[in-house]
Amino acid sequence: KAGVTQTPRYLIKTRGQQVTLSCSPISGHRSVSWYQQTPGQGLQFLFEYFSETQRNKGNFPGRFSGRQFSNSRSEMNVSTLELGDSALYLCASGEVGIGAGELFFGEGSRLTVL
């Protein structure tokens, strides 16, 4: 069974640009959640999607958005990039969702904003 796949693995952007990250969950998993990891703040929850609906959202500005498609693949978008958005972005998939069982994480997308 293939694991969680995130693309791209690495990317470099400049301030003001926007970026789209992709996450393909494990087959059969309907929940996809996104996290930002930085050395100072650790892992922080961005949002969770379940069956194409955003179920929960963390405390991030509206520049951070996401969506989920009918095949459960998810994308997150960050607009008007700031230097502080440099981070490792992780997605996780689960059969049911947060708190209800094991979450499987992808390898992450490392974003550098210059």
Partner 1 sequence: EDKVVQSPLSLVVHEGDTVTLNCSYEVTNFRSLLWYKQEKKAPTFLFMLTSSGIEKKSGRLSSILDKKELFSILNITATQTGDSAVYLCAVEGSQGNLIFGKGTKLSVKP
Using CB under 8 A, list all residues that contact partner 1: 4, 33, 35, 42-45, 48, 55-58, 88, 90, 97-108
d(CA 100, CA 11): 33
What is the Cα–Cα distance from 111 to 86, expressed in whole angstroms? 5
Taking the least distance from each CB to partner 1, the nearer of 11 and 98 is 98
Q: How far is the CB of 15 from partner 1 (least distance, A)?
A: 25
Q: Which residues contact 77 (CB under 8 A, 6 or more apart)?
A: 18, 19, 20, 21, 64, 65, 66
Closest approach of partner 1 to the CB of residue 27, in Å: 17
Residue 79 or 104: the one with the smaller Cβ distance to partner 1 is 104
